[in-house]
Structure 1
Amino acid sequence: MKIKKAIYAWISKKFMDGCSNYNSLEVRKSCRSKEQARDKFKEGGIPHAQGLIFFNPFTAVKFAQKFGFPLVIKPNVSGFSRGSHFPIRNYKELWKAIFLAKCWWPFTVVEQYLEGKNYRVVVANGEVVSVLQRYAPAVKGNGSSTIRELMKIENAIREEMKLYPVISPLKESAQTSAFLAKQGLNFDSVPEEGQRVTLFYRISLAPGGVVEVINKQLLPEVNNALFKNVLNLFDANILGIDVILEKGIEFDYRDQKCIFLEVNSRPYLKMHDYPRYGKAEDLSAQFEQLDALDVKQSDTF
């Protein structure tokens, strides 16, 4: 038991610094895999992508033949979008994504992919606490600066806003270079005025993604009820819910395409204090309520 606690403490410090810990071991176990989340979504009538877990790569190929592209490939167990690949638009990209995802975890998920607006919604104490829109790393052209120069300008803004180290700087990495090449661009390309250039596909903080605070008062009551329903489905004290909506979270989810991706039983709350766009909210009152909870086996993995 002491060894397991020591291992869990190391995992928490190494990979989950800044993540909350307000759910019991039972709840956390129910949220660990994408397959578990999808089963719960189905049980509760929550809109979600068609998908399946596979070990044999040819299972994913048959899925693509049945449902078509675009798709997403991701490890069945992971966090912070590690090992996830999207949007996959052809069989060549599919095979490559399968190989890379299995480097993280042998059992892999293939799902339909919706190109829309990506959100992290934190629900706790029976209420929607915070809504963030998440963006992949990108720069906006001014008609005269190269992508390399635009990256330096953006990094200077992030430093001035004191977003580091929660939000990462944009990097001239090999993966960014390869992603730009797919768009017929390189670091010396000069985007047009107002042109948005995405630097990497992952909507994650590690490669330089950012978040924007969305006024939760804009959410229709039907959307609020939906997120609260997800919290109740998992019998959780808090969840970070990842969802994509075609038009936006301020519109009735029933009037647009909507896909719930997964739930995070230990959501990374620190990023809510470091938005690139919008003003950080004071969530101390909600966290005081959570701090007062008696969480069972909070130190057990």
Structure 2
Amino acid sequence: MKFLKKNLYSYISKKFMDGCTNYNSLEVRKSCRSKEQARDTFAANDIPHAKGEIFLNPLTAHKFAKEHGFPLVIKPNVGGFSRGSYFPIKNFKELWKAIFLAKIWWPTSVVEQYLEGKNYRVLVANGKVVSVIERFAPFVKGNGQNTISELIDEENEIRRKMGLFGCMSPLQKSTQTTDFLARSNYDLNSIPAENEHVKLFHRIALAPGGVVEAISQKEVAADNLVLMEKTIKAFGANILGIDVILEKGIDVSHKDQKCILLEVNSRPYVKMHDYPRYGEKDDLTAVFAELEQLEIQGADVF
């Protein structure tokens, strides 16, 4: 059985986790893997997080929505890369659709409150914050002259020249994009106004063409750095990718705004920290040199 687990984990790592680190013990990875376990750790350590419930029966999520209202997020209880995650969910029709789609990825699911704000991935290693990026859903910026289709082509050419396609995906002109644009009375031939920000899809993820901006730690409020370092200590981890939403931004103390930690990633996708569309990437060479010296218990077992 142990041999089978090792081979299965090796396959999963190669197939789905290219660009992810593996510097945490099996015990730590287990504590982060389940959204329920992570939420329990957040609560025990007074770390701000969203109210939520784990459910098998979809009626549980429906009841949660009636009690807490929208927007909400539905995601698999075990997962990563935003696979099977749906947000922001703004009504019961979207809720029921998301419930059944999420179960394709895992039988038990999570329903949580969703905060409209700025979305960040904070990389914490060796007890310290080492890199911060802000994440954006795919978008184009209007100039008052070009169509959305032309703006997509221009942005994709910029990404190609920057060498970003080793990590993120090009913007799309798919049915997914046109359907999303139609909700705002746009199509690919629409001409956005000067500096108008036009979202092409709701998901803040790299696969549909989302981008990242590197944020200097000098711009991060001191209280927020302390919170992230408190979080890695609570999980006893060597490295974590912490997903956090802040209503006003990471330059404002979490004590002075709404803030929720969404989840912690024990095998964070660090590759995206090397491919910012905006800002200067952090040099993490020394960080990983130190992590490489560690002996990791159960590193090859899921």
TM over 0.5: yes
Separation in structure 2 between the aligned mates of residue 188 and residue 77 of structure 1, nearest angstrom: 40
CA offsets 1:14-70 (integer angstroms, 9 cap, x no match): 100010000001100111121111111111101111100111111111111111111
1:158-237 to structure 2, matched below 5 A, reads: 158-237=159-238
Q: Which residue of 1 aligns with 2:244?
A: 243
The SS at the match of 2:250 is coil
Deviation at 1:145, TM superposition (A): 1.1
One-letter identity of the residue aligned with 2:59: F
Separation in structure 2 between the aligned mates of residue 299 and residue 76 of structure 1, nearest angstrom: 22
Q: Which residue of 1 aligns with 2:264?
A: 263
Separation in structure 2 between the aligned mates of residue 48 and residue 61 of structure 1, nearest angstrom: 20
Separation in structure 1 between the aligned mates of residue 137 and residue 184 of structure 2, nearest angstrom: 15
CA offsets 1:128-158 (integer angstroms, 9 cap, x no match): 0100000011111111111111111000000
One-letter identity of the residue aligned with 1:132: I
Residue 16 (str. 1) matches residue 20 (str. 2): no
Q: Which residue of 2 aligns with 1:107?
A: 108
1:47-86 to structure 2, matched below 5 A, reads: 47-86=48-87
CA offsets 1:264-299 (integer angstroms, 9 cap, x no match): 000011111110000111110111110111111111
Runs of 4+ aligned structure 1 residues displaced above 4 Å come to none
Deviation at 1:221, TM superposition (A): 2.2
Separation in structure 1 between the aligned mates of residue 182 and residue 96 of structure 2, nearest angstrom: 20
One-letter identity of the residue aligned with 1:125: N
Separation in structure 2 between the aligned mates of residue 12 and residue 77 of structure 1, nearest angstrom: 15
The SS at the match of 1:31 is helix
Separation in structure 2 between the aligned mates of residue 194 and residue 36 of structure 1, nearest angstrom: 43
Consecutive unaligned residues of structure 1, counting only runs of 5 or more, are: none
The SS at the match of 1:241 is strand
1:29-48 to structure 2, matched below 5 A, reads: 29-48=30-49
Once the two structures are overlaid, the 10-residue window that deviates more, 193-202 or 173-182, is: 173-182
Aligned length: 301
CA offsets 1:166-206 (integer angstroms, 9 cap, x no match): 01101112221221122221111111111111111111111
One-letter identity of the residue aligned with 1:191: P
Deviation at 1:222, TM superposition (A): 1.7
Give the share of equivalent positions with the same residue, in percent: 64
Separation in structure 1 between the aligned mates of residue 166 and residue 68 of structure 2, nearest angstrom: 40
Separation in structure 2 between the aligned mates of residue 35 and residue 199 of structure 1, nearest angstrom: 32
One-letter identity of the residue aligned with 1:246: E
Q: Which residue of 2 aligns with 1:125?
A: 126
Separation in structure 2 between the aligned mates of residue 187 and residue 3 of structure 1, nearest angstrom: 49
Q: Cα RMSD (Å) of the superposition?
A: 0.9
Separation in structure 2 between the aligned mates of residue 81 and residue 177 of structure 1, nearest angstrom: 22
The SS at the match of 1:52 is strand
TM-score in terms of structure 1 length: 0.98
Q: Which residue of 2 aligns with 1:135?
A: 136
Residue 3 (str. 1) matches residue 4 (str. 2): yes
Consecutive unaligned residues of structure 2, counting only runs of 5 or more, are: none
One-letter identity of the residue aligned with 2:45: G
Separation in structure 2 between the aligned mates of residue 104 and residue 266 of structure 1, nearest angstrom: 18
The SS at the match of 2:33 is coil
Separation in structure 2 between the aligned mates of residue 221 and residue 143 of structure 1, nearest angstrom: 40
